[in-house]
Chains A and B, each alone.
Chain A
Amino acid sequence: EADIYQTPRYLVIGTGKKITLECSQTMGHDKMYWYQQDPGMELHLIHYSYGVNSTEKGDLSSESTVSRIRTEHFPLTLESARPSHTSQYLCASSDLTGGNSPLHFGNGTRLTVT
C-alpha cells in the first residue's frame, strides 16, 4: 500500500473561493504529479515536479498552481474556484529508479464548485 495522502477527500465550495488541495507522501519520492480526472474520462496531467523548488505544467492547461517547498508535500491551489474546476484531482509520486517504476496514487480529492 502506497503512503500518499490527499486531503480533503471531498470538497464542495462556492464560486470565487480560494482552495488548496493537499498531497503528502512519506516514501521520499522526488517526482510528484497532479492528474485531473473528469467522470468517466481518462486522466490528464496538469502539474508535475522533479523535486524541491521544481514545478512544471503538464499536458492539460490548468488555472491551478502548485508548489514544492518540501520533498513530501505538493499542494495544489486554485485562487478563484469556478464550476468548470469541478473534477477529481489525483496526486501521485514516483521514485523513478527505473523506467518501469510505477506511479503511486493517493485516493483523490473530489471537488465540486457551485
Chain B
Amino acid sequence: AQSVTQLGSHVSVSEGALVLLRCNYSSSVPPYLFWYVQYPNQGLQLLLKYTSAATLVKGINGFEAEFKKSETSFHLTKPSAHMSDAAEYFCAVRVSGNTGKLIFGQGTTLQVKP
C-alpha cells in the first residue's frame, strides 16, 4: 500500500529565504508523486508532478522537487520565498490500480515572514 508522510506541519521562513517542505513516500511499486498547494478557502492547485523522466521536477511559481529513490523522498523547494507563497502544501501519491485515487499527506502550512 502507498502512503506519504510530510515532516513538519508548520514551516516558517523569512521572505527571500529558501523554502524546503519535506515529503517521504512508501510504495512497493514505482510511485507517481504530486505536490499541490491550497490557498485559504480554495481548492487544491497542482504545483508539479513526478514523471520518472527526470528526478528533478520543475513546477509553477518557481517551485521544484527532487525524487530520491534511495531516500524515498520527494521534497519541495524554492530558492527564494515570496509572501504570496504562504499557503498549505500537500504531497500526494497515486494508489496503484486503475482507480486513479491519490493519498495525501497531512499537509504543511508555510508561513512567510516579511
Chain A: residues with CB nearer than 8 A to chain B? 6, 9, 31, 33, 35, 40-43, 45, 48, 50, 56, 58-59, 90, 92, 94, 96, 99-108, 110
Residue with the highest number of chain B CB atoms closer than 10 Å, among A6, A9, A108 = A108
- Describe B's contact surface by its main secondary structure: loop
Tell me the chain B residues, 65-107 only, with Cβ under 8 Å from chain A.
90, 94, 98-107
B41, B49, B52, B98: which contacts A102 (Cβ < 8 A)? B49
- Are B102 and A103 in touch, CB under 8 angstroms? yes
B18 on the A face (CB < 8 A): no
- Are B50 and A45 in touch, CB under 8 angstroms? no
- Are B101 and A43 in touch, CB under 8 angstroms? no
For the complex of A and B, the 5 pairs showing the least CB-CB separation, nearest first, are A105-B43, A105-B44, A96-B100, A99-B32, A43-B104
- Are A42 and B107 in touch, CB under 8 angstroms? yes
A45, A58, A100, A103: which contacts B51 (Cβ < 8 A)? A100
Tell me the chain B residues, 17-35 only, with Cβ under 8 Å from chain A.
32, 34
- Are A107 and B42 in touch, CB under 8 angstroms? yes
